[in-house]
Chains A and B, each alone.
Chain A
């Protein structure tokens, strides 16, 4: 072929030169080159034109007008004539137009039309060069779509994202940044990044560090909303570069950690309160609680009220230190209100839930607010529940901004905690009081004594006895009758019998009984007596003591009551409580311990404490530590229930002492933290699943990058080849046909060569663009059948002349990414359409079936098919089994299909036979949880 083209003997005369050009034009296959006269009549039709438009030279040369190459709607508006006129006027027309093949199919072509002139410069016709650029046009559209997609991902990110210039100015932001600052995008861009933080210097230092080091992780800052709210964030930031590799700025992504910070603050507050509880009284604990609530919400005032069991009477127990300053005329702990007197402030009792009033000042009824003189602007009041009862209220007010849900949570937690600490504080104060009264009772020791001479029947009383009996010794002598008369009538019989029995049985006795005074008062006395006998066994005399134990009796009664009360508190405690002896045996338990272990008190007492834990050795080490150090706090153990379930607990334990101050055992209180543990585990799980998602995202991005690499590689290879042809043949023309070409012709050829260089540059630019594209993944419920019908409709519309019978299932619901699945179907149906192009009766089918845990889909055609020997190359990017002259295409479609199906957790394969047709299968996992 080439030897004929360039045989130098051909080039001799001008006619021969013309012939030669004709030969060149005719044999060029990559480009359609068509000669026409001034009216568009076709005079020259090369091989490229034949291949592109489908007409044989015989069919058109001298017979047809170039208008047959235009689509009918262009012909109607005279576009072909307009193009010729423009080419004549400007020396050239070039552009992109829709073209029509002989078979009626359409394509997009890049077209250059130049006028031909005779030797006198008069126009005699046109040369029309065209090329099918459908594939390039589609490629550009795909790149645009990908870029749009990447931007939309940035916009939907929940993390505030921002880019910063070297001068510290904001150059781009996403919607989350707008939300976080409350400043519109247009106003953010161009301003100083550091202006939006509570610590601008720290923000500046942050991005300067990124410019210096290239990357910064977990940089803590506080982002300020226009309305004053503050969001605690951690920044991850890195520099990004322009296409020349120069640092263009900093890309920074903030992660909202406000809630985490809040949780940390609450934990710290809890620890502080526990310390306060150890060192101060009830009111001190409550005041500390209110202070913490104030601090954690940024409030200016705060109160803690108890609500009596009647659910009506409020008593102010403590106000915060700051509130106290403006509140000195009243005193905490003394004020009582009825709930009806306090107006909206006690709404939280009436509504039995936390109440937020961010518009307090404008509300009509706010009398009775305990703030007194302080003007309230906003308030937040939360109830503390114990069972069905509200037991306390914690209120804070006058935060600089509106109270929100986070404040409600924080204050509720603190109010609850304050109540728990106050409650245990109160219980221990009661216990101390009863112990004191016991000691006082022990100090009482008023004892009188008497002696009865049974031989002489003479009774003598000591002075103490007269005092105890309140008898004047001057007016009334001592006698057994007088003694009996002083005894409470109900006790006389038993006292008399005790004495007579004692004399008869010769055993001493001790009895406690009542005395009734003349004025009706009752006294208690402890009486002890012993009788002595002679050698014959006759009773001689009785000696006894009488001790006034009235005060002790009262004290003991009081103590019994107090103990019963303490005991009831201990029993009412939801925390499993236990006392342990020095030998490690359980001495006492409360009801909560019984239900935590499902062992009765009787079963538990006397057994080893350590037996009831998953780690007995650790339990033993725990109480031994208490005996050694006096106390242990938050000692973690796992309490085992009889049924095998386990409760995670933290023990607070301390030694308790007897009256003599000797250590008699350990008192240990367990706090069930199973729920808290579960929450912590949940947080851990969420964190790790977040990391998992980040890893998945990263690997997806890496996969996309690899695909782009492969794509870019092939683009650089395939798009360059035609350019080389254009340049090469143009150059050959110039070299070999200089004489035959007019000056205009040579200039045109130079233009073509210049254009090829431009195209080469464009390709490089496109590659650059493609490297910036990223892709994401979102599943929804979609119907693949409906999607397939829509695509079939589009294909039919593109080429109405083709006769294709579609068979598409009525409905094929799946859970998948709609945009990506559309790409899959467009490629598979588009391929079926393309490879059935030469069939008179084309048939394309799309069906689905279910097998086990996956859905299997099939796109079947009766087209050209391929040799199964090459089936393994089918899904590689830019792999083609047909030459471009047979069927056009880039070879990227099936690689795309495979990538998308794999990302959905499915498989894809094909079955085919040459001349019979092809069937593409792909699967998607069933259910919503496919990965």
Chain B
């Protein structure tokens, strides 16, 4: 009947273990706990691909792995099975972002008076990338890649709020698309040396301290690569739960001194020298190539700190200290290896990928299985993201009966809420959907900070559950989501009279309107994979029957509005 409380207790030791245990005891004492409570509602682990796939599970799978289950994609997965579909997607060609030319930092110089009317929009806002984001999401054949890249975009965050130009943002987003199925170690290095990240978190032109000037190396990238991009602030168990000491306090994964040491590692790098230019300590911007270690005329990396550095310490640590006088590139390689081999990386990154793709509150056992895939892809390779993604999507907790547990699922984030509805009803679209997402609290490409559009550890009030996307569900955005459905169902996004905009194809639903039960059943099948409660069906039928049968489109719109605006749909499970 329900996922066990005991199970939940383990699942969230990472945040508040004791109250919950106490509570379980209390409930048991009151006789309120389910006798079957200790039973975990997942099926025995078996290769999902070997089982016959139900349409309902195919639709669920595509909600997790794509920008929304389109009918054509549902057929493909039914035919191929999950694992073979994943293999096809791993080899898919990338639908990438356009990379416009770099404009001057001063927009008055880049778009002087008399410029094209769209000059500012196209060169100093994220507009071109926002359009490409939605078009790739709606139509790209590389659906899994786009979806995983979105998750990476929300873990390894850079933002147009600071970078401002699409010319600066686009190469970084293309990097995430290109490496979505690569190795985490490669991804970490490429992100570190990417000039967009360099500009966003200030690693570019970070100087070694040169006495007597009293300045310290910039700590910004050093802190966030550890806190957000790799291991997090506390030591984790392989199942993602926080390690505690004898006092019950979390064990910190590093100290301020560790941050300082990494800040010293990340000194001496600047933009790649432009063709024909002379290398300088602080080169002019170049967002096309990775940052590089500055070398003076004699070949010395004279802006890199040469002291010894004490990095992360953990059992079996790789390069826990860096020797003095090493070359800057050696320091960087060894420092990234030091991070990469930290035992936190698997559970820290793995759990977040599960939360982005499948469910906000995975059981510790699920996280542990994904950690295992991170640590070894089956061929002895650590950090293989293909293996991690397969492990996440084919896990018994993603595919099995766990979906019925009371804490299962995730609130659809605004951009996916939009694209899922569009793809379900074969929408025509010009990709101008960013304002809709922004009104729901997600201004895509413009994350307010490096902590993403919403905090990854947000706890849903009045529950003991994490629900990251609830961090942007306010009284305003909750209604904006319903208003979006209203516009999409009854009209279209964009000017009603023009050919552009985004409009659903409701012909299939309208054809069913003569039989309201069939109409609602179809919506249940397509949007809720058959989970609509009877009371909800009755309410929708009441509303549909209040529309004259002579107006089949209005009936279809009414039914769609009520299903798509319902929390039963907005929380995907």
Q: Do A and B come from one complex?
A: no
Give me the interface of B with A, judged by CB distance under 8 Å: none
